[in-house]
Structure 1
Amino acid sequence: MTEVAYGVHPLQKLKVFHHSPENTHTLLLIHGGAWNDPGNTYNDFMQMADSLMSKRVLVNVLGINYRLTPEIVHPFHLQDLVDGIEFLVREYNIFRILVLGHSVGATMALQLLNYKQILEAGYEQLQEKVDFSITNLKIELDTIFFVDGIYDIADLVAEYGPPYQAFVDRAFVSKKQYAEAVQPSRAKFTNFAFSPKKIIVVQSLQDELLSLRQTHKFMAFLQLLGVPYSSHEEPWGAHEEVYRREELADLVSETLKQIDA
């Protein structure tokens, strides 16, 4: 395992759990933590990476860290994800990617599907204007695993009130900005710019921080768009346990086998 920097900030790093130039698949893991918790890092996925390697799954496994609030606000979390992927393309010749995001990592995975529009809107709504250029990612998205995610931030605040409003307000400069930051609540939205071959939505029935409301509304949104998906609502532990579950690693492993079948 090695750590590589894709930027100058200490958190702009990728962890390479496993990599072989011969592998045709790469799994990128995006941690959660409400955009602000330093306790959540790419090391959240140590058990998953070990499990996939023990199963001899032929896949590169990498995790990404990104800068956190309050040092930054949206859209810089997403910008770091895009920059990290661009680094993988440039330095590792990785063009075919599976993504697994947990919690706000799932939010970022969703944002990735329309990253150009979401970055542009996010930058324009900052109180202090910044110069920006948005790269054109030349990647193919095989599969996205959305795990116990947040998909409509405004609805999250409506459901949970002040405690959740507090961390949202730290990560975004306005209600308009966080409404425009995810596709289900965007004022103008047509379809995903990226079209992953497969979308898999996972929700632990024992998650104490997120009810099924976010997941069910997200699946309804996918149905509205006519985007196929599969879903797994399982008793896979608490919010910070689900990504460590062997069952989730099994799901990733089986999905990879189906891609190659």
Structure 2
Amino acid sequence: MTTPADNDHLTWASAPWTPIPGPNTAPIGWHKHLPYLAPTRGGTALHTLDIWLPSLLTTTSTLPSGPGTWLIYIHGGAWRDPAVTAASFTAAASRLLQRAATAAAGPTPLAGIASLNYRLSPHPGHPAPGDPARAAAHPDHIADVLAGLAFLQRAGAARGRYVLVGHSCGATLALQAVMHPRRWGVEAEVGKPAVVVGFNGLYDLAGFIRAPPEGWEGLVGPYEEFIRGAFGPEEAVWRAVCPATAEGVVLVQSREDTLVPSSQLESMRVYLEGWVGEVRTEVVEVEDAGDHDDMWGRGDKMAEVLWDVLLGV
């Protein structure tokens, strides 16, 4: 009889490694794209993830275990944008692999990188009738993230200390992932990360709709549309999905962001200060990072922040 471990092994072995070329002839790392939930268990086209590894042995069918800490990334896109996927972390991943390849002698702080896809809510500008991967409603998004984390944990990537990273609504999901899974009606055993890093994150949905910062009133309509699409019409639900905490939280905001106000970061910082003695909180405001999606589109500032986090884990 095939066991869950056997299924994970077969899934992992089913996807080949692709070398990531460096400035010289030798690759700086390796990449593969694979499902974390099989179609026979309800998996869709978005129950997938991307893996990047530094230049380590990748010939085995199991997950190579090198020194350092794993980074696991959750993309943004307002819970619904099909143009923003796990592959959006490619630029930052490449920069991190380059840093790992050129780091000073000694063990690299980076063991590997994973980036998760998850089912999306319907998008009026990108209709996809009949596609179960594009008809999600809360708590489908966080349930998928937890399923992806559980798969990685069984494979060895999310065991022990790891860093969970999210951009925009991915930052919301990253912090939701440290809440008890039963809060979302999910039975999953997922170890908590050592640090959660949120880039340009959404943390207080109801607060923004009720009282947007001065100058941001024009975004209330678009925000309410995608919030209702993901979470339904009840404000109580919007409040219930506000994130909790991990051991350490790093909140990062681009000063040039025109889609998410810095008040979102500030409200989360104030919230975390209520957990005195339990949560280490660091706030990083990044200069010259560009607009909201430039953070991952360019990847340079994102990689810089994450490398510093890895060195401190």
| TM-score for the superposition, normalised by structure 1 | 0.85
Contact 1:15–1:42 at 8 Å: present in 2 too? yes
Distance 1:62 1:116 in 2: 20
Note the 1:111-190 alignment, pairs <5 A. Answer: 111-120=176-185, 133-137=186-190, 139-158=191-210, 159=212, 160-173=219-232, 174-183=234-243
Matched, 1:106 2:171: yes
In structure 1, give the amino acid aligned to 2:237: Q
SS state of the match for residue 61, structure 1? strand
Distance 1:246 1:135 in 2: 34
Distance 2:196 2:221 in 1: 31
Q: Which has the higher contact order (CA 8 A, sep 6+)?
A: 1
Matched, 1:4 2:34: yes
Which residue does 1:254 correspond to in 2?
Answer: 308
Which residue does 1:195 correspond to in 2?
Answer: 246
User: What runs of 5+ residues in structure 1 fail to find an aligned partner?
Assistant: 121-132, 184-191
Contact 2:178–2:192 at 8 Å: present in 1 too? no
In structure 2, give the amino acid aligned to 1:72: A
Which residue does 2:99 correspond to in 1?
Answer: 55
CA 1:228–1:205 in structure 2 vs 1: closer, same or farther (change >3 Å)?
A: same
Distance 1:242 1:23 in 2: 27
**Which has the larger Rg?**
2
User: What runs of 5+ residues in structure 2 fail to find an aligned partner?
Assistant: 1-30, 38-42, 55-63, 101-107, 123-134, 213-218
SS state of the match for residue 179, structure 1? helix
Which residue does 1:86 correspond to in 2?
Answer: 150
Residue from 54, 58, 69 that aligns with 1:25: 69
Matched, 1:241 2:294: yes
Residue from 259, 276, 279 that aligns with 1:209: 259
SS state of the match for residue 101, structure 1? strand
Please state how far the C-alpha of 1:234 moved relative to its aligned partner: 1.9
In structure 1, give the amino acid aligned to 2:290: G
CA 1:93–1:38 in structure 2 vs 1: closer, same or farther (change >3 Å)?
A: closer
Which residue does 1:14 correspond to in 2?
Answer: 49
CA 1:93–1:234 in structure 2 vs 1: closer, same or farther (change >3 Å)?
A: closer
Please state how far the C-alpha of 1:93 moved relative to its aligned partner: 5.5
1:63-118 CA distance string (max 9 Å, x none): 00000002010001000000001001113363032111000000001111214253
> Which range moved further: 221-230 or 101-110?
221-230
In structure 2, give the amino acid aligned to 1:157: I
Distance 1:258 1:213 in 2: 27
In structure 1, give the amino acid aligned to 2:162: I
CA 1:6–1:234 in structure 2 vs 1: closer, same or farther (change >3 Å)?
A: same
Please state how far the C-alpha of 1:49 moved relative to its aligned partner: 0.5
CA 1:168–1:94 in structure 2 vs 1: closer, same or farther (change >3 Å)?
A: closer
Distance 1:195 1:225 in 2: 10
1:178-222 CA distance string (max 9 Å, x none): 221114xxxxxxxx5x632x2111000100101111010000001
Please state how far the C-alpha of 1:175 moved relative to its aligned partner: 2.1
Distance 1:40 1:97 in 2: 23
Please state how far the C-alpha of 1:229 moved relative to its aligned partner: 0.8
In structure 2, give the amino acid aligned to 1:119: W
| TM-score for the superposition, normalised by structure 2 | 0.71
Distance 1:86 1:177 in 2: 25
Please state how far the C-alpha of 1:135 moved relative to its aligned partner: 1.5
1:117-151 CA distance string (max 9 Å, x none): 5303xxxxxxxxxxxx51222x2412111100000
CA 1:67–1:163 in structure 2 vs 1: closer, same or farther (change >3 Å)?
A: same
